[in-house]
Amino acid sequence: MSENEKITGTSFFERPNVEKDTIPVAGGIPIGVESVTNSALGIGGAYAAWGASFDNSQLPAFVGHRLGFPLADTDVMNLSELGFVSRHHIPDLSDAEHLEVELEVGARVLKQAVIANGWNAADVDGVLIGMSGPVSDDYVPEIARRAGIRESAIKVSVHKACDGSMGALHLALNPELTVPGQVNVAEELAGKKVLVGGIEGLSRFTSHAKDKNALQLFGNGAGVIGVIPGETMKFMVGKSFENYDEEGLLQVRMYYPHSKEMAPGKSLLEVSQESASHIRVAGMMHEPDDGLPIVMAGLMGMVKLFVRSGVEVATDVFREYSELMSKLDSDKTIDVGIVHHANYKINLLKGKQLLKEGVQYPMPWLLNDFGNVSAASCMIAFLRQLPSIRPGDHVMFDGFGAGTYYDVMAVSMG
Protein backbone atom coordinates (compact mmCIF):
# COMPACT_ATOMS: atom_id res chain seq x y z
CA MET A 1 0.00 0.00 0.00
CA SER A 2 1.31 3.44 -0.84
CA GLU A 3 1.52 6.21 1.75
CA ASN A 4 -1.77 7.70 0.57
CA GLU A 5 -3.72 4.47 0.05
CA LYS A 6 -6.61 3.91 2.44
CA ILE A 7 -6.23 1.21 5.07
CA THR A 8 -9.26 -1.08 5.09
CA GLY A 9 -10.41 -3.71 7.54
CA THR A 10 -10.69 -6.59 5.08
CA SER A 11 -9.44 -9.95 6.35
CA PHE A 12 -7.03 -11.94 4.21
CA PHE A 13 -9.59 -14.76 4.18
CA GLU A 14 -12.05 -12.43 2.40
CA ARG A 15 -9.80 -11.86 -0.62
CA PRO A 16 -11.43 -13.27 -3.79
CA ASN A 17 -8.57 -15.58 -4.81
CA VAL A 18 -7.90 -17.13 -1.42
CA GLU A 19 -8.61 -20.86 -1.23
CA LYS A 20 -9.95 -21.58 2.25
CA ASP A 21 -9.76 -24.92 4.02
CA THR A 22 -9.49 -26.39 7.51
CA ILE A 23 -6.56 -28.27 9.01
CA PRO A 24 -8.05 -31.16 10.99
CA VAL A 25 -6.34 -30.42 14.31
CA ALA A 26 -7.95 -29.36 17.60
CA GLY A 27 -11.42 -29.14 16.13
CA GLY A 28 -10.24 -27.43 12.95
CA ILE A 29 -7.71 -24.65 12.22
CA PRO A 30 -8.78 -22.38 9.31
CA ILE A 31 -6.19 -21.80 6.59
CA GLY A 32 -6.24 -19.64 3.48
CA VAL A 33 -3.77 -19.89 0.58
CA GLU A 34 -3.49 -17.54 -2.39
CA SER A 35 -1.44 -18.44 -5.47
CA VAL A 36 0.13 -15.90 -7.84
CA THR A 37 1.75 -16.47 -11.24
CA ASN A 38 3.45 -14.12 -13.68
CA SER A 39 3.94 -16.21 -16.80
CA ALA A 40 5.91 -13.48 -18.55
CA LEU A 41 8.55 -13.70 -15.82
CA GLY A 42 8.30 -17.44 -15.29
CA ILE A 43 7.82 -16.88 -11.56
CA GLY A 44 4.99 -17.87 -9.27
CA GLY A 45 4.38 -18.61 -5.64
CA ALA A 46 1.88 -18.92 -2.84
CA TYR A 47 1.24 -17.23 0.48
CA ALA A 48 -0.96 -18.15 3.39
CA ALA A 49 -2.36 -17.39 6.81
CA TRP A 50 -3.81 -19.80 9.34
CA GLY A 51 -5.84 -19.43 12.49
CA ALA A 52 -8.73 -17.08 13.25
CA SER A 53 -8.56 -13.55 11.85
CA PHE A 54 -8.58 -10.82 14.51
CA ASP A 55 -9.16 -7.21 13.53
CA ASN A 56 -7.90 -4.36 15.71
CA SER A 57 -11.14 -4.16 17.71
CA GLN A 58 -11.10 -7.89 18.50
CA LEU A 59 -7.42 -8.18 19.31
CA PRO A 60 -7.31 -6.74 22.89
CA ALA A 61 -9.56 -9.52 24.23
CA PHE A 62 -7.36 -12.17 22.63
CA VAL A 63 -4.19 -10.55 23.97
CA GLY A 64 -5.79 -10.41 27.43
CA HIS A 65 -6.42 -14.15 27.20
CA ARG A 66 -2.77 -14.75 26.34
CA LEU A 67 -1.57 -12.48 29.17
CA GLY A 68 -3.97 -13.93 31.72
CA PHE A 69 -5.37 -10.51 32.58
CA PRO A 70 -7.25 -7.78 30.65
CA LEU A 71 -5.21 -5.47 28.45
CA ALA A 72 -5.48 -1.93 29.82
CA ASP A 73 -6.83 0.75 27.49
CA THR A 74 -3.53 2.61 27.78
CA ASP A 75 -1.70 -0.47 26.47
CA VAL A 76 -3.85 -0.87 23.34
CA MET A 77 -1.72 0.14 20.36
CA ASN A 78 -2.96 2.28 17.48
CA LEU A 79 -2.35 -0.53 15.04
CA SER A 80 -4.04 1.08 12.03
CA GLU A 81 -1.54 3.95 12.34
CA LEU A 82 1.20 1.32 12.09
CA GLY A 83 -0.41 -0.11 8.94
CA PHE A 84 -2.08 -3.20 10.41
CA VAL A 85 -5.80 -3.95 10.51
CA SER A 86 -5.86 -7.70 11.18
CA ARG A 87 -3.68 -10.69 11.90
CA HIS A 88 -4.12 -14.45 12.42
CA HIS A 89 -3.87 -16.45 15.63
CA ILE A 90 -4.37 -20.05 16.65
CA PRO A 91 -5.79 -21.29 19.96
CA ASP A 92 -3.63 -22.79 22.70
CA LEU A 93 -2.47 -26.20 21.44
CA SER A 94 -0.31 -29.07 22.62
CA ASP A 95 3.24 -29.40 21.26
CA ALA A 96 2.13 -32.26 19.03
CA GLU A 97 -0.78 -30.22 17.67
CA HIS A 98 1.45 -27.22 16.98
CA LEU A 99 3.83 -29.48 15.08
CA GLU A 100 1.11 -31.04 12.96
CA VAL A 101 -0.49 -27.68 12.12
CA GLU A 102 2.75 -26.07 10.97
CA LEU A 103 3.95 -29.13 9.07
CA GLU A 104 0.65 -29.14 7.20
CA VAL A 105 0.85 -25.38 6.56
CA GLY A 106 4.39 -25.65 5.21
CA ALA A 107 3.62 -28.62 2.98
CA ARG A 108 0.51 -26.97 1.54
CA VAL A 109 2.33 -23.72 0.74
CA LEU A 110 5.22 -25.59 -0.92
CA LYS A 111 2.78 -27.65 -2.99
CA GLN A 112 0.88 -24.55 -4.13
CA ALA A 113 4.11 -22.73 -4.98
CA VAL A 114 5.18 -25.69 -7.13
CA ILE A 115 1.84 -25.60 -8.96
CA ALA A 116 1.97 -21.82 -9.41
CA ASN A 117 5.30 -22.23 -11.20
CA GLY A 118 4.04 -25.06 -13.40
CA TRP A 119 6.66 -27.43 -11.97
CA ASN A 120 6.60 -31.00 -10.71
CA ALA A 121 7.63 -31.43 -7.09
CA ALA A 122 10.15 -34.11 -8.10
CA ASP A 123 12.01 -31.52 -10.24
CA VAL A 124 12.66 -29.07 -7.36
CA ASP A 125 16.38 -28.96 -6.52
CA GLY A 126 16.34 -26.64 -3.53
CA VAL A 127 14.11 -25.46 -0.67
CA LEU A 128 15.34 -22.49 1.38
CA ILE A 129 13.08 -21.28 4.19
CA GLY A 130 13.53 -18.47 6.73
CA MET A 131 12.02 -18.99 10.20
CA SER A 132 12.44 -17.03 13.42
CA GLY A 133 11.37 -19.81 15.79
CA PRO A 134 10.96 -23.17 14.02
CA VAL A 135 8.49 -25.62 15.52
CA SER A 136 11.09 -28.41 15.07
CA ASP A 137 14.75 -28.67 14.12
CA ASP A 138 13.96 -30.70 11.00
CA TYR A 139 11.02 -28.56 9.88
CA VAL A 140 12.28 -27.78 6.36
CA PRO A 141 13.18 -31.38 5.44
CA GLU A 142 9.83 -32.56 6.84
CA ILE A 143 7.65 -30.12 4.89
CA ALA A 144 9.68 -30.80 1.74
CA ARG A 145 9.07 -34.52 2.23
CA ARG A 146 5.33 -33.98 2.70
CA ALA A 147 5.24 -31.83 -0.43
CA GLY A 148 6.74 -34.64 -2.53
CA ILE A 149 10.18 -33.06 -2.98
CA ARG A 150 12.93 -35.63 -3.26
CA GLU A 151 15.31 -36.33 -0.34
CA SER A 152 18.43 -35.31 -2.31
CA ALA A 153 17.18 -31.74 -2.94
CA ILE A 154 19.14 -29.15 -0.95
CA LYS A 155 17.24 -27.91 2.08
CA VAL A 156 18.40 -24.78 3.92
CA SER A 157 16.92 -23.57 7.22
CA VAL A 158 17.72 -19.87 7.77
CA HIS A 159 17.26 -18.43 11.27
CA LYS A 160 17.94 -14.68 11.03
CA ALA A 161 14.67 -13.47 12.60
CA CYS A 162 12.67 -11.22 10.26
CA ASP A 163 15.54 -11.25 7.74
CA GLY A 164 15.30 -15.03 7.27
CA SER A 165 13.62 -15.18 3.86
CA MET A 166 15.83 -12.46 2.42
CA GLY A 167 18.87 -14.23 3.82
CA ALA A 168 17.60 -17.36 2.09
CA LEU A 169 17.05 -15.58 -1.24
CA HIS A 170 20.47 -13.96 -1.00
CA LEU A 171 22.07 -17.39 -0.43
CA ALA A 172 20.26 -18.76 -3.48
CA LEU A 173 21.35 -15.92 -5.78
CA ASN A 174 24.76 -14.63 -4.63
CA PRO A 175 27.71 -17.03 -5.05
CA GLU A 176 29.91 -14.74 -2.93
CA LEU A 177 27.94 -15.77 0.17
CA THR A 178 29.82 -18.91 1.05
CA VAL A 179 31.47 -20.44 4.09
CA PRO A 180 34.78 -22.31 3.83
CA GLY A 181 34.17 -26.03 3.91
CA GLN A 182 30.46 -25.67 3.12
CA VAL A 183 28.63 -26.10 -0.16
CA ASN A 184 28.25 -22.89 -2.18
CA VAL A 185 24.46 -22.85 -2.34
CA ALA A 186 24.16 -20.29 -5.15
CA GLU A 187 26.66 -22.11 -7.37
CA GLU A 188 24.97 -25.44 -6.67
CA LEU A 189 21.48 -24.12 -7.47
CA ALA A 190 22.25 -21.89 -10.48
CA GLY A 191 19.86 -22.67 -13.32
CA LYS A 192 17.81 -25.07 -11.19
CA LYS A 193 14.27 -24.97 -9.80
CA VAL A 194 14.32 -23.52 -6.29
CA LEU A 195 11.65 -22.68 -3.72
CA VAL A 196 12.49 -19.78 -1.38
CA GLY A 197 10.35 -18.31 1.36
CA GLY A 198 9.51 -17.56 4.95
CA ILE A 199 7.13 -19.51 7.18
CA GLU A 200 6.32 -17.98 10.56
CA GLY A 201 4.03 -19.53 13.20
CA LEU A 202 4.28 -16.43 15.35
CA SER A 203 1.01 -17.04 17.18
CA ARG A 204 2.65 -20.14 18.65
CA PHE A 205 5.97 -18.36 19.17
CA THR A 206 4.43 -15.46 21.12
CA SER A 207 1.78 -17.51 22.96
CA HIS A 208 3.72 -17.41 26.24
CA ALA A 209 5.09 -13.91 25.80
CA LYS A 210 4.35 -11.16 28.31
CA ASP A 211 5.35 -8.33 26.00
CA LYS A 212 2.11 -6.43 25.28
CA ASN A 213 3.40 -4.86 22.06
CA ALA A 214 4.67 -8.13 20.59
CA LEU A 215 1.34 -9.84 21.30
CA GLN A 216 -0.46 -7.13 19.32
CA LEU A 217 1.94 -6.80 16.41
CA PHE A 218 2.77 -10.35 15.35
CA GLY A 219 0.67 -13.04 13.65
CA ASN A 220 0.93 -16.11 11.43
CA GLY A 221 2.02 -15.89 7.81
CA ALA A 222 3.89 -17.76 5.09
CA GLY A 223 5.11 -16.92 1.61
CA VAL A 224 7.10 -19.05 -0.86
CA ILE A 225 8.22 -18.21 -4.40
CA GLY A 226 9.78 -20.32 -7.14
CA VAL A 227 12.88 -19.03 -8.92
CA ILE A 228 15.51 -20.32 -11.30
CA PRO A 229 18.62 -18.42 -10.16
CA GLY A 230 20.40 -16.73 -13.04
CA GLU A 231 17.41 -17.12 -15.34
CA THR A 232 14.07 -15.95 -13.94
CA MET A 233 15.79 -13.88 -11.26
CA LYS A 234 19.34 -12.58 -11.79
CA PHE A 235 21.53 -11.24 -8.99
CA MET A 236 23.20 -7.89 -9.68
CA VAL A 237 24.53 -6.46 -6.41
CA GLY A 238 23.90 -7.08 -2.73
CA LYS A 239 25.17 -6.89 0.80
CA SER A 240 24.73 -9.09 3.86
CA PHE A 241 25.44 -7.31 7.14
CA GLU A 242 25.27 -8.20 10.83
CA ASN A 243 25.54 -5.94 13.86
CA TYR A 244 24.91 -7.50 17.27
CA ASP A 245 22.09 -5.90 19.28
CA GLU A 246 24.12 -5.20 22.42
CA GLU A 247 21.32 -3.17 24.04
CA GLY A 248 18.76 -5.92 23.60
CA LEU A 249 16.25 -3.62 21.92
CA LEU A 250 14.55 -6.66 20.42
CA GLN A 251 15.31 -9.79 22.42
CA VAL A 252 14.35 -13.10 20.83
CA ARG A 253 14.86 -16.63 22.15
CA MET A 254 16.76 -19.04 19.91
CA TYR A 255 14.55 -22.10 19.53
CA TYR A 256 17.09 -23.66 17.17
CA PRO A 257 20.60 -25.12 17.50
CA HIS A 258 23.26 -22.50 18.18
CA SER A 259 26.35 -22.55 20.41
CA LYS A 260 25.36 -19.14 21.84
CA GLU A 261 29.04 -18.23 21.87
CA MET A 262 30.46 -14.95 20.65
CA ALA A 263 34.06 -14.07 19.87
CA PRO A 264 35.64 -10.83 18.58
CA GLY A 265 35.67 -10.78 14.82
CA LYS A 266 33.58 -13.94 14.57
CA SER A 267 30.36 -14.00 12.60
CA LEU A 268 27.09 -14.15 14.50
CA LEU A 269 26.00 -16.83 12.02
CA GLU A 270 26.76 -20.50 12.51
CA VAL A 271 26.48 -22.70 9.42
CA SER A 272 26.10 -26.42 10.02
CA GLN A 273 25.52 -29.48 7.85
CA GLU A 274 22.59 -31.15 9.59
CA SER A 275 22.40 -34.04 7.14
CA ALA A 276 23.54 -34.92 3.63
CA SER A 277 20.98 -32.52 2.15
CA HIS A 278 20.08 -30.17 5.04
CA ILE A 279 22.07 -27.03 5.88
CA ARG A 280 21.30 -24.74 8.82
CA VAL A 281 22.21 -21.05 8.96
CA ALA A 282 21.60 -19.95 12.55
CA GLY A 283 21.96 -16.41 13.83
CA MET A 284 23.02 -15.34 17.32
CA MET A 285 20.26 -13.42 19.13
CA HIS A 286 20.16 -11.27 22.25
CA GLU A 287 17.92 -13.53 24.31
CA PRO A 288 15.58 -12.47 27.14
CA ASP A 289 16.98 -13.23 30.61
CA ASP A 290 13.74 -14.68 31.96
CA GLY A 291 13.22 -17.44 29.41
CA LEU A 292 10.40 -15.65 27.59
CA PRO A 293 10.22 -15.89 23.79
CA ILE A 294 10.36 -12.18 22.96
CA VAL A 295 10.85 -8.81 24.67
CA MET A 296 10.66 -5.51 22.79
CA ALA A 297 12.02 -2.13 23.86
CA GLY A 298 9.01 -0.34 22.37
CA LEU A 299 8.36 1.27 19.01
CA MET A 300 11.09 3.90 19.32
CA GLY A 301 13.51 1.15 20.21
CA MET A 302 12.61 -0.62 16.97
CA VAL A 303 13.24 2.57 15.02
CA LYS A 304 16.65 2.93 16.67
CA LEU A 305 17.46 -0.70 16.02
CA PHE A 306 16.52 -0.92 12.35
CA VAL A 307 16.51 2.48 10.67
CA ARG A 308 20.08 3.73 11.08
CA SER A 309 21.93 0.58 9.99
CA GLY A 310 19.15 -0.27 7.56
CA VAL A 311 19.56 3.03 5.75
CA GLU A 312 23.33 2.56 5.57
CA VAL A 313 23.09 -0.94 4.08
CA ALA A 314 20.35 0.01 1.59
CA THR A 315 22.33 3.11 0.57
CA ASP A 316 25.50 1.08 0.01
CA VAL A 317 23.68 -1.40 -2.22
CA PHE A 318 21.85 1.31 -4.14
CA ARG A 319 25.13 3.14 -4.83
CA GLU A 320 26.76 -0.10 -5.95
CA TYR A 321 23.77 -0.70 -8.20
CA SER A 322 24.08 2.84 -9.65
CA GLU A 323 27.77 2.29 -10.34
CA LEU A 324 26.94 -0.96 -12.15
CA MET A 325 24.34 0.81 -14.30
CA SER A 326 26.88 3.52 -15.10
CA LYS A 327 29.43 0.92 -16.20
CA LEU A 328 26.77 -0.65 -18.41
CA ASP A 329 25.94 2.80 -19.82
CA SER A 330 22.33 2.27 -18.73
CA ASP A 331 19.81 4.74 -17.36
CA LYS A 332 17.88 1.90 -15.74
CA THR A 333 16.78 2.33 -12.13
CA ILE A 334 15.01 0.35 -9.42
CA ASP A 335 11.38 -0.24 -10.36
CA VAL A 336 10.14 -1.40 -6.97
CA GLY A 337 11.52 -2.03 -3.49
CA ILE A 338 10.32 -5.00 -1.44
CA VAL A 339 11.00 -4.04 2.17
CA HIS A 340 10.37 -6.01 5.37
CA HIS A 341 7.22 -4.73 7.08
CA ALA A 342 8.15 -4.26 10.72
CA ASN A 343 5.50 -1.55 10.64
CA TYR A 344 4.46 1.31 8.37
CA LYS A 345 6.09 4.06 10.45
CA ILE A 346 9.47 2.37 10.36
CA ASN A 347 9.27 1.95 6.58
CA LEU A 348 8.08 5.51 6.09
CA LEU A 349 10.93 6.88 8.20
CA LYS A 350 13.40 4.66 6.41
CA GLY A 351 12.17 5.96 3.07
CA LYS A 352 12.61 9.56 4.23
CA GLN A 353 16.11 8.89 5.53
CA LEU A 354 17.06 7.19 2.26
CA LEU A 355 15.78 10.20 0.34
CA LYS A 356 18.23 12.38 2.30
CA GLU A 357 20.99 10.12 0.98
CA GLY A 358 19.73 10.57 -2.57
CA VAL A 359 18.18 7.10 -2.68
CA GLN A 360 14.62 6.79 -3.92
CA TYR A 361 12.56 3.88 -5.21
CA PRO A 362 8.91 2.84 -4.74
CA MET A 363 8.32 0.95 -1.48
CA PRO A 364 4.71 -0.22 -1.58
CA TRP A 365 3.01 -1.17 1.68
CA LEU A 366 1.02 -4.33 1.07
CA LEU A 367 0.46 -6.33 4.26
CA ASN A 368 -2.15 -4.56 6.37
CA ASP A 369 -4.23 -7.76 6.65
CA PHE A 370 -1.38 -9.82 8.14
CA GLY A 371 0.33 -7.82 10.86
CA ASN A 372 4.07 -8.28 11.28
CA VAL A 373 4.79 -11.78 9.96
CA SER A 374 8.56 -11.54 10.27
CA ALA A 375 10.46 -13.51 7.59
CA ALA A 376 7.26 -14.11 5.60
CA SER A 377 6.60 -10.41 4.99
CA CYS A 378 8.96 -9.72 2.07
CA MET A 379 7.81 -12.84 0.24
CA ILE A 380 4.14 -11.96 0.65
CA ALA A 381 4.85 -8.38 -0.43
CA PHE A 382 6.70 -9.61 -3.50
CA LEU A 383 3.86 -11.96 -4.47
CA ARG A 384 1.33 -9.14 -4.20
CA GLN A 385 3.50 -6.98 -6.41
CA LEU A 386 4.38 -9.82 -8.82
CA PRO A 387 1.51 -9.33 -11.33
CA SER A 388 2.69 -5.78 -12.11
CA ILE A 389 6.40 -6.65 -12.51
CA ARG A 390 7.62 -6.88 -16.09
CA PRO A 391 10.53 -8.73 -17.71
CA GLY A 392 13.67 -6.64 -17.31
CA ASP A 393 12.41 -4.79 -14.23
CA HIS A 394 14.89 -4.28 -11.42
CA VAL A 395 13.75 -5.08 -7.88
CA MET A 396 15.44 -4.10 -4.63
CA PHE A 397 14.87 -6.59 -1.80
CA ASP A 398 15.49 -5.18 1.68
CA GLY A 399 15.34 -7.53 4.65
CA PHE A 400 16.21 -6.74 8.25
CA GLY A 401 15.65 -8.53 11.51
CA ALA A 402 16.50 -8.85 15.18
CA GLY A 403 20.00 -9.92 15.97
CA THR A 404 20.67 -7.66 14.04
CA TYR A 405 20.78 -8.92 10.43
CA TYR A 406 20.40 -7.23 7.04
CA ASP A 407 20.23 -8.65 3.52
CA VAL A 408 19.75 -6.16 0.70
CA MET A 409 20.04 -7.04 -2.98
CA ALA A 410 19.14 -5.75 -6.42
CA VAL A 411 17.96 -8.29 -8.98
CA SER A 412 16.85 -8.29 -12.61
CA MET A 413 13.60 -10.04 -13.39
CA GLY A 414 12.85 -12.48 -16.17
What CATH class has 12-413? alpha beta
> pTM here?
0.96
First to last CA, the chain: 24
Distance between CA atoms of 319 and 9, rounded to whole angstroms? 38
Q: Exposed, middle or buried: residue 162 (CB in 10 Å: 0-12, 13-18, 19+)?
A: buried
Please name which of 222, 254, 271, 264 lies closest in space to residue 373, comparing C-alpha atoms.
Answer: 222
Helices (H), 87-237: 95-116, 139-146, 164-173, 185-189, 202-205, 212-217
Q: Per the omega criterion (within 30 degrees of 0), is the bond before 333 cis?
A: no
Domains of the chain, residue spans: 12-413
Partners of residue 396 on adjacent β-strands? 337, 410
pLDDT in tens, the chain (414 residues): 343 333 445 799 999 999 999 999 999 999 999 999 999 999 999 999 999 999 999 999 999 999 999 999 999 999 999 999 999 999 999 999 999 999 999 999 999 999 999 999 999 999 999 999 999 999 999 999 999 999 999 999 999 999 999 999 999 999 999 877 788 999 999 999 999 999 999 999 999 999 999 999 999 999 999 999 999 999 999 999 999 999 999 999 999 999 999 888 889 999 999 999 999 999 999 999 988 999 998 888 888 889 999 999 999 999 999 999 999 999 999 999 999 999 999 999 999 999 999 999 999 988 999 999 999 999 999 999 999 999 999 999 999 999 999 999 999 999
